[in-house]
Structure 1
Amino acid sequence: MMRALLVDDETAFAELLAERLRARGIAVRTAYDAESALALLDAGEEFDVAVLDVCLPGASGIDLLRRMKARLPLVEALMLTGSSDVRNAVEGMRHGAFNYLLKPADIDDLVRELRAAHERKLRQEENARMIEAGKLASIGRLAEGVAHEINNPVNIMTNAAGWIEDLLDEPDLASSPHAAEMRRSVVKIKAQSRRVREITRKLLFFGKGLDPRPGPVRMADLLGEALRLLADRAADLGV
Structure 2
Amino acid sequence: MKYKSVFDIIGPIMIGPSSSHTAGAARIGKVARSLFRKQPKWVEIYFYGSFAETYKGHGTDVAIIGGILDFDTHDERIINSIEIAGDLGVDVSFSVEDDDTDHPNTVKVRMGDGDDELELVGISIGGGKIEIIELNGFKLKLSGNHPAILVEHHDKFGAIASVSNVLARYEINIGHMEVSRKEMGKKALMTIEVDQNIDDIILDKLEILPNIICVTKIVD
Q: Structure 1-normalised TM-score? A: 0.21
Q: In proportion to residue count, which structure has more strand? A: 2
Counting helix residues as a fraction of each chain, which structure ranks higher? Answer: 1
Larger Rg: 1
Higher relative contact order (CA closer than 8 Å, sequence separation 6+)? 2
TM-score, normalized by length of structure 2? 0.22
